[in-house]
Amino acid sequence: MPHQRQRVLTGTTWEERNGYARAVRVGPFVYVSGTIAADEAGNIHAPESTFLQTMYALDKIEGALEKLGATKRDVVRTRIFVKHIRNQDDAGRAHLEFFGDLMPCCTMLEVSALASPMALVEIEVDAVIAAELPGG
């Protein structure tokens, strides 16, 4: 029997303009799109702080996960895109503070630009809801 697809939309202008969901769940697998520290109107939170933008984006991601029945404990991979690699320690410190000893796989890359010129970081996550797996 095929798994039903569930999705979360947050109402940002980018979702509507580009035709994507903030997060999608199929079976026990949850995928969260690249998320920046922007509210629904596109206003960037803490435009001068990679650390605070990372925390804001991770909080948004956590909200999307929860709407699909997952938690940060289910996250197995993160991808962090920073505008300036010199700020990798700030993004990494926020990642550590958010996930603690959960320690998902992580890739961090420098990119030339993000969806908003004021965005300093963008994050994607993949999660697997362990309780939904056979024997879980």
What does the domain layout of the chain look like in residue ranges? 5-132
80 pLDDT more than 70: yes
| Tokens, residue 69 | 């029945």
Distances (CA, A) of 100 to 25, 112, 116, 126: 24, 29, 29, 17
d(CA 32, CA 22): 6
pLDDT at site 74: 98
Please tell me the pTM assigned to this model. 0.93
Q: How many other C-beta atoms can be found within 10 angstroms of the C-beta atom of residue 71?
A: 12
| Tokens, residue 59 | 């909080």
d(CA 52, CA 121): 10
d(CA 124, CA 10): 15
133 pLDDT more than 80: no
pLDDT at site 131: 75
Q: What tens digit of pLDDT does each residue of 81-102 get? A: 999 999 999 999 999 999 999 9
Please report where in the chains the tokens 């990372």 appear, as a residue: 54
Phi, then psi, of 133 in degrees rounded to 5: -80, 155
What's the pLDDT band for 27 if we cut at 50, 70, 90?
A: very high
pLDDT at site 15: 85
| Tokens, residue 60 | 């948004």
CATH superfamily of 5-132: RutC-like (3.30.1330.40)
d(CA 31, CA 14): 17
Phi, then psi, of 19 in degrees rounded to 5: 70, 50
